[in-house]
Amino acid sequence: MSTAQHLPHTVEALLADGTTVTIRPIGPADRAAVLDLHAERMSDESRRMRFFGASREAPQLAADRLCAAPRPELLALGAWAGGELVGEADCESVQGRPDTAELAVVVADDWHRRGVATLLLEHLVHAARQNGIRALEADTLAGNLAVHRVFTDLGLPVHRHLEQGEVRVRVPLDETDEHYREAVDERGRRADIASLAALLRPASVAVVGASRRPGSVGQSVLLKIRQAGFAGQLWAVNPYAAEVAGEPAHASLGTLPGIPDLAVLAVPPIAVAGAAEECGQAGVRALVVLTSGLDAHTAGQLMHACRRHSMRLVGPNSLGIAQTDPAIRLDAEFGAVWPLPGSAGVAVQSGGVGIALLERLTWLGIGVSSFVSLGDKYDVSGNDLLQWWESDGSTDLALLHLESFGNPRAFSRTARRVTRRFPILTVDAGRSPAGRRGAASHTAAAATPTVAREALFRQAGITATRSLSELVDTAALLHSQPLPSTRCAVAVVSNAGGVGILAADACADAGLTQLELPPDITAELRDLLPDGSATANPVDTTAAVRPVELAACLDTLARSRAVDALLVCLVPTALATGPHDDPVRALLDGPARRRVPVAAVLLGQEVPVRYLTCSDGGRIPSYSDPQAAARALAHARDRAHWLTEPPSPEAAPPPGCDPRSARHLVEAFLAANPDGGWLDPALTVELFDCYGLPLTISIWVPDEHGAVVAAQSLRQLGHRGEVVLKAYWPGQVHKSTLGAVRTGLATDGQVRETFREFTERFGRQLTGVVVQPMAAPGLELLAGVVQDRVFGPLAVLGLGGTATDVLDDRTARLAPLTERDLATMVAELRGSPVLLGHQGAAAVDVAAVQDVLARISHLATDLPQLAELDLNPLIARPDGVLCVDARVRLEPRGSFDPYLRRLRRPAAAEEVREP
């Protein structure tokens, strides 16, 4: 263990049964609690079996060991529930083997089988890794099955040796392998669902702050819960009234005839903290806080009450929640509509958006399985709901409107799994003009929050729409129609030629494949349709078409293997004299679901989207605008495409990566520069070497003589025997625009002359010059990473060199990159044909470009302190790649494991912590 110990933070996390516990380091102040745990909360038998190692040691010795003055070789974590220590796990490094630690775990008897040990071990493993521990070891009694199960279930590789009735267990910690992550995920998911049951499947609900004033939030919610026919117990709490809206009111939580699972708080801001605490003490398991405008102190107290009393929290500033399962029928929100029962899971951050979305869905006829208005999202988040819907047995479509992400990487991991089962649709909110982050680095300028969010959605397979309307349009299609094949060649059929052309244009705009109908189909259509019809795509049936003819035409097209989707555009015409002649009958009388998805466009329709209910009871979405229909089809195509691609593994670290040395370098730099900063050329070279990044040779020289000597030694390596001189001073930006880069220097004289020019131009600012061999010409690319505070590292690839900004051709992915990311990043650039060999030119070494991307992805994931890294240009040629200009900025920052199980700590409530 290194001497500078990284102490884990205090966090809250969920046990297997959904109970919240606090995990934090144990220190001298915890002596009484440790004694109590060992002496009072364990039976003799437990103590005999006592998990590991010091099984015969007395409680006193344990307290002495754990609660002495902190020492770097010991890491001890405790789990607290409601202020009591219920478990402890520690590891102490072994004498002479600083990277191995002896492990011990203890759990209070009445807390067994709830996942305390496993949760503590997960956090201890994380902390141990942070402190350079490579393996944990422990002695256990062979008969101690519970402990062996904990180890087996943990998901890490476990090695066991039997020695005289004791089993020596060794857990290597070298790699975070996917198996372990999945095991952690699965435990997290089950704990999360267990904790959310009180919120989304409550047997009893109390409305606290149920007001007598009609139209007040409290009263509206109370009435809605009652009128929607809540299947469980409903109680109104109001100390000043005997009854509220016909419901008997109770003076306080404590005087209720039972303990509510869920409490809905509609009290004034000043009363929120007190009400939450009262709920917690009464044994409530979940809160929905409708109140808005909490100050930081109240927010902190609210969070504190929730964590201490193990209550999940929706809000504050929530519009409420709804659960339509007939066994529950809870409508605890104060929007204007009653959500229909159905299978769409809906979560929104803004209440206003929630109201609008529920209205549109209800109008359209898409029912909701559960609805949650997350509000200020102190606790329950989109990630929680995705996990709930994943296994609630009734959701097959998720609609999200998220303005912020607490832990995007955990969200992305969940979403990636869930989108394999059903579509997740979101509005990409907050897409305002992508503010450039200054020109300090090209990569940073390219990596705006919008880019990061788009990358997240794309990598997770989330369908990101650009507006609420587009969300509803797309949901209407995905909810009713089959997915197209990935080709998605659309056949357009209309009863008015001009409309068909508009629709074909809309398809082209949406990037859908233009379809040429095969001759046998066109021949068949000619036989079916009235004279004068156009039987090529777009098919124009003319206004004279009768519904039966149109229906036959649709059947023919839907049967053809050339067609992957049907867009049917109809205008009402004077030729239809009765309802039986209405061309829409062709759709209504046919099947709703065919081999391919069908979307209708009815130009006369007054609403943007609605359903046509067919004779078989199924539904076809009908749009007023062909653009909307085409966009929905394009989203369906993208989803189909995403589903055909198997999940891609993270790109393995390429050979020659040395994270340990890189970490030392970074720590040393930050020790000398506590605020961080740009690495100088020499350190940049060193860091690049740690990850095998191809950087050209750079010699830094302080004076003219040095420059000439360096140039002489480098010239033979340079293209055409030439070298490059770059003026250097700390903190410089874009060198070439200032005239600080001079290429193609062939003679000593030119080197001298350039050096003098630099001194003249840059004066005392200049601290020296960098000499490089001239690189052979090639395609100039930009590759880089920016660490986003919320999203983590974002890797960028683009066409580069000095023209990066003009070309504006870049693509981005959140690291760690997968194998597929490496391939698609290159393919996605508009300029990719140039990389792949254009007009007879040889292709560049694409594998080498991808290798650089993989290396910087690992570099950024290994080193959270890497704020920006910029390789520009990375010169790509058929025979390899070479970077001639690299910049690296470091920032002091602790590592954050996005996959470690812990509950959110909202910034608004940060100041009040568990005592």
Binding site for ligand ADP (CB under 6 A): 696, 724, 726, 734-736, 741, 743, 772, 774-775, 780, 801-802, 872-873, 884-885
H or E element at residue 506: helix 497-509
- Rounded to a whole number of angstroms, the minimum distance from the CB of residue 812 to ligand ADP is 20
DSSP 512: P
If the CB atoms of residues 150 and 723 are measured against ligand ADP, the closer one turns out to be 723
Pairs from 762-769 (Cβ < 8 Å, separation ≥ 24): 762/727, 762/729, 765/729, 766/727, 766/728, 766/729, 767/702, 767/728, 767/729, 767/730, 768/700, 768/701, 768/702, 768/703, 768/728, 769/700, 769/701, 769/702, 769/706, 769/707, 769/725, 769/726, 769/727, 769/728
If the CB atoms of residues 521 and 883 are measured against Mg ion, the closer one turns out to be 883
Of positions 696, 788, 872, 888, contacts Mg ion by CB under 5 A: 872
- Rounded to a whole number of angstroms, the minimum distance from the CB of residue 441 to ligand ADP is 10
Question: What distance lies between CA 204 and its chain's CA centroid?
Answer: 33
If the CB atoms of residues 410 and 852 are measured against ligand ADP, the closer one turns out to be 852
Three-class SS of 115-145: CHHHHHHHHHHHHHHHCCCCEEEEEEECCCH
- Rounded to a whole number of angstroms, the minimum distance from the CB of residue 885 to ligand ADP is 3
- Rounded to a whole number of angstroms, the minimum distance from the CB of residue 741 to Mg ion is 8
Q: Which partner, ligand ADP, Mg ion, none, binds residue 801 by CB below 5 to 8 Å per kind? A: ligand ADP
753: buried, middle or exposed (CB in 10 Å: 19+, 13-18, 0-12)?
middle
If the CB atoms of residues 244 and 745 are measured against ligand ADP, the closer one turns out to be 745
> 3-state class of 725 per DSSP?
strand
- Rounded to a whole number of angstroms, the minimum distance from the CB of residue 336 to Mg ion is 56
The residue type of 78 is: G
If the CB atoms of residues 734 and 761 are measured against ligand ADP, the closer one turns out to be 734
CA distance 324 to 473: 23
Q: Which partner, ligand ADP, Mg ion, none, binds residue 724 by CB below 5 to 8 Å per kind? A: ligand ADP
- Rounded to a whole number of angstroms, the minimum distance from the CB of residue 443 to ligand ADP is 12
Q: Which partner, Mg ion, ligand ADP, none, binds residue 727 by CB below 5 to 8 Å per kind? A: none
Tell me the H-state helices in 673-723: 681-690, 704-715
| Residue whose beta carbon is closest to Mg ion | 885
x/- mask, Mg ion, residues 816-855, rule CB under 5 A, reads ----------------------------------------
- Rounded to a whole number of angstroms, the minimum distance from the CB of residue 701 to Mg ion is 20
The residues with which 795 forms a beta bridge, in sequence order, are 785, 813
H or E element at residue 293: none
Whether the ω angle into residue 816 lies within 30 degrees of 0, i.e. cis, is: yes
Q: What is the DSSP string of 51-95?
A: SSS-TT--HHHHHHHHHSS--TTEEEEEEEETTEEEEEEEEEEET
286-289 vs 312-314, strand pairing mode: parallel
Q: Which partner, ligand ADP, Mg ion, none, binds residue 884 by CB below 5 to 8 Å per kind? A: ligand ADP
Q: What is the DSSP string of 735-776?
A: TGGGT-EEEEE-SHHHHHHHHHHHHHHHGGG--EEEEEEPPP
Nearest Cα to Cα of residue 341 among 310, 370, 363: 370
Segment interacting with Mg ion (CB under 5 A) among 62-70, 78-86, 224-232, 869-877: 869-877
320-323 vs 330-333, strand pairing mode: antiparallel
Binding flag, residue 885, Mg ion (CB under 5 A): yes
Segment interacting with Mg ion (CB under 5 A) among 78-86, 187-195, 555-563, 884-892: 884-892
Question: What distance lies between CA 713 and its chain's CA centroid?
Answer: 50
Q: Which partner, Mg ion, ligand ADP, none, binds residue 741 by CB below 5 to 8 Å per kind? A: ligand ADP
Q: Which partner, ligand ADP, Mg ion, none, binds residue 775 by CB below 5 to 8 Å per kind? A: ligand ADP
If the CB atoms of residues 802 and 832 are measured against ligand ADP, the closer one turns out to be 802
Binding flag, residue 868, Mg ion (CB under 5 A): no
If the CB atoms of residues 88 and 809 are measured against Mg ion, the closer one turns out to be 809
- Rounded to a whole number of angstroms, the minimum distance from the CB of residue 442 to ligand ADP is 8
- Rounded to a whole number of angstroms, the minimum distance from the CB of residue 691 to Mg ion is 19
Q: Which partner, Mg ion, ligand ADP, none, binds residue 621 by CB below 5 to 8 Å per kind? A: none
If the CB atoms of residues 634 and 724 are measured against ligand ADP, the closer one turns out to be 724
Q: Which partner, ligand ADP, Mg ion, none, binds residue 499 by CB below 5 to 8 Å per kind? A: none
Q: Residues 89, 121: contact at Cβ < 8 Å?
A: yes
339: buried, middle or exposed (CB in 10 Å: 19+, 13-18, 0-12)?
buried
Segment interacting with Mg ion (CB under 5 A) among 238-246, 430-438, 709-717, 877-885: 877-885
If the CB atoms of residues 247 and 885 are measured against Mg ion, the closer one turns out to be 885
- Rounded to a whole number of angstroms, the minimum distance from the CB of residue 406 to Mg ion is 36
Q: Residues 131, 2: contact at Cβ < 8 Å?
A: yes
If the CB atoms of residues 88 and 885 are measured against Mg ion, the closer one turns out to be 885
Segment interacting with Mg ion (CB under 5 A) among 145-153, 262-270, 546-554, 872-880: 872-880
- Rounded to a whole number of angstroms, the minimum distance from the CB of residue 884 to Mg ion is 8
Structure tokens at 319: 């519009």
If the CB atoms of residues 463 and 696 are measured against ligand ADP, the closer one turns out to be 696
**C-alpha distances out from residue 328 to 229, 234, 386, 545, Å:** 9, 12, 20, 50
- Rounded to a whole number of angstroms, the minimum distance from the CB of residue 834 to ligand ADP is 16
Structure tokens at 910: 């940060």
- Rounded to a whole number of angstroms, the minimum distance from the CB of residue 875 to ligand ADP is 7
If the CB atoms of residues 514 and 736 are measured against ligand ADP, the closer one turns out to be 736
> 3-state class of 249 per DSSP?
strand
If the CB atoms of residues 392 and 885 are measured against Mg ion, the closer one turns out to be 885
Please report, as ranges, the residues that interact with Mg ion according to CB under 5 A.
872, 885
